[in-house]
Amino acid sequence: MTDHDDRTEARIRAAFSTELRRAEGDLELSPLRIGPWQEGRSSAAGLEPRRRHPVSRPGVLIATAALVVCVAVGASFFAGGLRNAAVPQTASPSAASTQTASTQATSSIPRYSDGIPKVWQGQPVLRWNDALAERLTATDATPFLVGVWLDVLNGPHSCPAGRADPGAPDSWATNSCPDRWISPDQGGAPAELDGIATFHFTAWVLSTGPAILRVHVHDPNASQCGYQQAICGSMIVVENAVWTGDSFTDPRPFTVDDVIAAAAAVDPKTTLTLMDSTSPTYDLRLPGAIALSPGNVMPADMQVHGAYLMSSTQAMQRALPDVQPGAAGTVLPSAYRLGESGSGPYYSFSVADRWLVVDNVAFSVLTLPEPSAADRAWLASLEAALRATH
């Protein structure tokens, strides 16, 4: 091997190392992990639709490494003719080493206790209370980022009469019929948005779950608000979502697949699926939860009416603080069930909706108004089936 060949291989090694570091950095800034509750979301504004199964970060790194290897082999043949162009062993990392590198890159992102990043693409991510303070001190429309938990309503809901200025129909000072709520923490009470924040200009299809929102105040369109111009000018205007969750905000300890399997184990006819705009109009509000629906449910004893997953047991405790976990603590929910009728929302027919809470999962179950011994046994079997998934 000549000195020229040695220099060529040294450059190849350096190029590979540079590209691998760049791939790891890109993954840190733009994780590819996809939350299951986002399946089927719109690709408006350039975001790829969510998929049930996550894209593998190791696969991306290996593909990047393979590209560099191809370049290295070509360069070796070019420099040394048809000599044995052996690629340095470090140019083809094993799956194990790739997994370690990508995990370290992802875990290096500083995060809040609920998994939302503290920094995104070099910008600090505020939480809701800090965003409210920023709203009062901002002097222009420079965007900033805020990490929240969204709750997006599926299905129809009744709306009261609007309270906007009749002379300013485009005013966003109030939101008399919200279908999107912001919670500072998953499972916590939704924040008051009237006169404070608006989705009026959101060019985005938002979904329930964690999000980093790009927002601003002092919107130049505040003049559309008539006598409420000052209110609109001071409101937080949500532009879009720049991040919507990854493996650090996925449900745990039980996953969507665990819940689907448990329900089917107790009753094979129960096929839970992710709730979306085509699901029945049943909606037991749990802020920020992933919702699963069994399709059309006929009123009957001992049925799973739905299931809701939080990212943690603590989040579920915030959402249902008065419900004792386990079959023995199953109680009537405080929220109502939305349904189609001439008079608006209604409760169940001859059965009762109850919460069965198991760690980060809340099953909405149908039992007799006064649960029988058979009901209790069925609830216990559902809890046992879920725990058996681990």
Tens digits of residue pLDDT in 76-87: 333 333 333 333
Q: Taking the domains of the chain in order of start, what are their residue ranges?
A: 3-107, 119-243, 256-387
Residues forming a β-bridge with 145: 125, 214
166-196 pLDDT, tens per residue?
Answer: 678 888 888 766 778 999 999 999 999 999 9
- Contact yes or no for 260/270 (Cβ under 8 A): no
Specify the pLDDT at position 380: 96
Residue 36 pLDDT > 90: no
Rounded distance, CA 80 to CA 4, Å? 9
Q: Is a pLDDT exceeding 70 seen at residue 352?
A: no
Return d(Cα 272, Cα 262) in angstroms, integer: 10
pLDDT tens, 299-312? Answer: 678 889 889 999 99
Per-residue pLDDT at 172 = 87
Number of C-beta neighbours around residue 101 at 10 A = 19
Q: Are 251 and 359 in contact (CB under 8 A)?
A: no
Weakest mean pLDDT among 19-23, 111-115, 128-132, 269-273: 19-23
Q: Please name which of 202, 172, 178, 206 lies closest in space to residue 191, comparing C-alpha atoms.
A: 178
Rounded Cα gap, residues 115 and 94, in angstroms: 29
Q: pLDDT tens digits, residue range 41-83?
A: 333 333 333 333 333 334 443 444 443 333 333 433 333 333 3
Q: Is the pTM of this model over 0.95?
A: no
**Residue whose entry in the numeric block shows the structure tokens 């046992």:** 384
Q: Which residue has the tokens 């504004």?
A: 45
